Amino acid sequence: MSHNTFGHMFRMTTFGESHGPALGCIVDGCPPGIPLTAEEIQSYLDKRRPGQSRFTTQRQEPDAVRILSGVFEDGETKGQLTTGTPIMLLIDNVDQRSKDYAEIRDTFRPGHADYTYQAKYGFRDYRGGGRASARETAARVAAGAVARKVIPGVTIRGALIQMGPHKIDRANWDWSEVGRNPFFTPDAHAAVQWADYLDGVRKAGSSTGAIIEVTASGVPAGWGAPLYGKLDQDIAAAMMSINAVKGVEVGAGFASAALSGEDNADEIRMRHGKPEFLSNHAGGILGGISSGQDIVVRFAVKPTSSILSTRKTVTKTGEDTDIMTKGRHDPCVGIRAVPVGEAMLAIVLADHFLRHRGQVG
């Protein structure tokens, strides 16, 4: 969990820039004997892929993934299995549109990492945001697809629950609706309203933020550990490592600050021979360890900083100037963060499953 590596037992290391020849990741520590094909991984990448509706960037990237190592044909089934060695997942960059980068080469776009990369490294790959581009999240989604296979009993689902100032009505929540609208929202009513709202944002050359909720069902009690091995610690790190994320919460989250101890602590009763919680303010985690309830995580994505409005900024050489970021951008980058958040939760859970099995058996 440093540099460009995330995870401890199950871990991924990503590489690649927005406009370099390729991006991808090495997934290491995966158990052997798991059926794995590029097609399966591709199905998750296709959810994140840009250019699928008018509400995401029009950059055309097939995001076709190849598995370069770590799988081998099973002698009996002839299907492809993980071998236990590192799984290299490679995605070529295809649509690196030739354009004039002179402006952003010398000028820091407000809200971007231009200024901080330059301050740190004295130098940066400015094309399309370089390493700070949201394209890197394709590698996360690919690794997340592998992670899901490590924890087959766990179901991970994400949803957009707020776009700009507009929240869903949780009474309308219908998971099957998520796949039917371009926003991954479970509220069909909201989907209609948001289409209008986002069209307005898009046409104005503006952008908006969002809040994503990701849940995991089927996680048994016992994953996670005290205290710097807490499941929620790693979930917080996972979500905050995604570009543009500014906040993360578990269960009741920030709202728990306003609760009384009576209202917050989830009571327990025996049901069908085992303990069952009567509410889930904890979001499925107590003391850093899973309780067996659904794990519930939310994170906030800031509005895309690339907008058509003219903004005040400075140049590399220290002169005041104004900038307007043309080009192909997501008016609400939070939409495509839904599959990314799912992937990160899958990676954390796969890692903690192996860590738990290692320590406790």
Name which of residues 126 to 145 contact a second copy (CB under 8 A).
130-132, 136
Tokens for 259, please give them.
């609760």
Give phi and psi for 132, each to the nearest 5.
-85, 5
Alpha carbon distances (Å) from 197 to 127, 185, 202, 235, 245: 30, 14, 9, 31, 22
Q: Least distance in Å: CB of 269 to a second copy?
A: 6
Nearest to 158 by CA among 183, 134, 133: 183
Please list every residue from 288 through 307 that binds a second copy, using CB under 8 A. 288-292, 300-307
Q: How far apart are CA 311 and CA 115, in angstroms?
A: 15
Please list every residue from 10 through 29 that binds a second copy, using CB under 8 A. 11, 13-17, 20-24, 26, 28-29
Q: Least distance in Å: CB of 200 to a second copy?
A: 11
Q: Crossing angle of helices 38-48/337-360, nearest 10°?
A: 130
**209 lies in the site for a second copy, by CB under 8 A:** yes
- Build a one-symbol-per-residue string for 144-173: x at contacts with a second copy by CB under 8 A, - elsewhere: ------------------x-xx--------
Q: Any bridge partners for residue 23, and if so which?
A: 16, 91
**341 lies in the site for a second copy, by CB under 8 A:** no
Q: Least distance in Å: CB of 180 to a second copy?
A: 23
Number of shown-chain residues binding a second copy (CB under 8 A)? 158
**56 lies in the site for a second copy, by CB under 8 A:** no
Q: Are 59 and 127 in contact (CB under 8 A)?
A: no
Give phi and psi for 98, each to the nearest 5.
-70, 125
**175 lies in the site for a second copy, by CB under 8 A:** no
Name which of 64 and 88 has its Cβ closer to a second copy: 88
**78 lies in the site for a second copy, by CB under 8 A:** no
Q: How far apart are CA 84 and CA 228, in angstroms?
A: 27
Q: How far apart are CA 191 and CA 169, in angstroms?
A: 11
**69 lies in the site for a second copy, by CB under 8 A:** yes
Binding residue for a second copy, selected from 154, 235, 340, 346, defined by CB under 8 A = 235
- The Cβ of residue 77 has, within 10 Å, a number of other Cβ atoms equal to 9
Binding segment (CB under 8 A) for a second copy, from list 49-57, 174-182, 188-196, 267-275: 267-275
Q: Least distance in Å: CB of 188 to a second copy?
A: 21
Binding residue for a second copy, selected from 35, 58, 72, 97, defined by CB under 8 A = 72
- The Cβ of residue 76 has, within 10 Å, a number of other Cβ atoms equal to 6
**262 lies in the site for a second copy, by CB under 8 A:** yes
Binding residue for a second copy, selected from 103, 193, 221, 327, defined by CB under 8 A = 221
